[in-house]
Amino acid sequence: MTTTEFNEILDFAIEREKEAVAFYRELQQQSKFADQKQMLKEMEQMELGHIAVIESIRKKGVKEQDIQSVSNLKISEYLSKELSEEELTYQSILIKAMKREENSFKLYTQMSQKFPDSEISTLFKRLASDEAKHKLHFEQLYDDFISQGN
């Protein structure tokens, strides 16, 4: 893999993270409750942190051992409920976040399989692993919320 290819992939990943930041900022503006706004602000910060991680990969590279195995509660895979744009409850925010992270995970996983170059594949696997961590975070929040009888 050339340096240009490596940087193009990272630029692509950073753009996806910037889209996620914008997504959470938009939800913050739609939210009516301070607690929701705070949670969405934390999600935005998490995505900004992911941009920093990707920039770190740009400087240091990525190795197979950098890829963490992440549990999958598969909650988002079982949720098929379409959410209306007006419905902005804690539960709907978590579902939207889970689905967004699930889609990013799937995209990076597919990309890791599409490229035979082991360096490119490893890079996409690392990005997929990071998205899986985010998805797990939201699934755990959702599971806790539902377990409380809400």
Bin 33: left if φ > 0, else alpha if -120 < ψ < 50, else beta. Answer: beta
Predicted structure pTM score:
0.84
> Using one digit for the tens of pLDDT, what is the confidence trace for 37-68?
998 999 899 999 999 989 998 898 888 888 98
Q: What is the domain partition of the chain in residue ranges?
A: 3-147
In this structure, are residues 54 and 6 in contact, taking their beta carbons and an 8 Å threshold? no
Residue among 135, 142, 146 at smallest CA distance from 99: 135
Q: What is the CATH topology of the domain spanning 3-147?
A: Ferritin (1.20.1260)
> Using one digit for the tens of pLDDT, what is the confidence trace for 87-127?
788 888 889 889 999 999 999 999 999 987 888 889 899 99
Average pLDDT over residues 129-146: 92
Residue 116: what pLDDT?
Answer: 78
